[in-house]
Every structure is written in C-alpha cells, then in structure tokens.
Amino acid sequence: ASVHCISEAIGGMYDTPHGVGNAIFLPFVFSHNRDADLRRHADVAYALGIDPNLGASAAAEAGVEQLFRMNHELGIPRFADVAGVREEDFLAIAEKSKSNISDASNAKEMSVESYLDVIRAADWIVDIGPEAGYNGGEVVFSGPLKALLKEEKSLTADYLTGRRKIA
C-alpha cells in the first residue's frame, strides 16, 4: 500500500501518472516490506518468473532484483528522472505518504522516516568505476544524481553531462 501512498504524493507534486509512480517505487517498497511477509513476497517473486525451487528469503530478494530489471527493460524512469524532483521536497512527500488513508494497509508499518528512507533510496546512484565487473572496479560515487553530475572522478558523470562524448 505504501507504493500507492508515495505515487499519489508525487503525482500531486510533479504531475507523475499514478502507474508510473507505482512502477518507480515498487522495487524499493517491495524490498522494504519483504521481511514483513516473506512467503507473500516470495509468491510474488515466483509469479515474476523467479525459480520456484528457491527458498522464500532468496526468492523474495531475487524478486526485488527482477522488479529493478523489469523497470529497466520497460524504460520506467528513475525517480531522479522525474521532472521537477527536488531533494527538499522529500520530507513533504514522506509526510503526505504517511497521512494517506492507504498507509495503514501496508505489509510493514511505515513512519515518516521509513518513507524518507524509501524515497532517498529511489534517488540514490552507485557509480562503480573503471573496469567494474570481472576486473574489479571501485565505488567512484554513491549518492543522489544531482551530486553525481558534479563528481569530477566519474566517467558516468562526464558522459551524462556532456563533458565527454562517445566518438
């Protein structure tokens, strides 16, 4: 239910369609809620195509990853990509979400701080630097998109801002 609460709050503030808002925040709320009802979250994960031989905890975790993957494949924007999003609005979004009538039906009790945690997580980027993957790499940046764009050590920021271009 919290995903709807957040979606309604951002819909009113940024004119974001409710379904898009739900899609943006579903992986984050699913992750936040999964321990409140592992069996239910595992069942959702199995319905998303996760291996039914996995135990509930592993399946629920894989379900979170599957939701992120689906969002990427479907072209769902990240919260940071929503026009007009400002970090200074996060508290108002959290308060509006908490006061939403649907808040009480969430799988896990939510506080304003819980909503803030989910909202901040949706605005967070981790940039793993040169030669990430098999070759290792290192965390070059961890934080909100606006701060990443100012990071001079990040190749990702260089390309996003146009400081570098693909030849």
Beta bridge partners of 127: 141
At residue 133, the pLDDT reads 66
Residue reference for tokens 């929503």: 82
Q: What is the pLDDT of residue 167?
A: 78
CA distances from 48 to 3, 61, 104, 115, 126 (A): 18, 12, 26, 25, 26
The whole-number pLDDT of residue 72 equals 85
Q: What is the mean pLDDT of each run of 10 residues along the chain (167 residues)?
A: 96 95 96 95 97 96 92 89 90 97 95 96 82 72 82 87 88
Q: What is the pLDDT, as a whole number, of residue 132?
A: 66
Taking alpha carbons only, the member of 69, 60, 67 closest to residue 36 is: 60
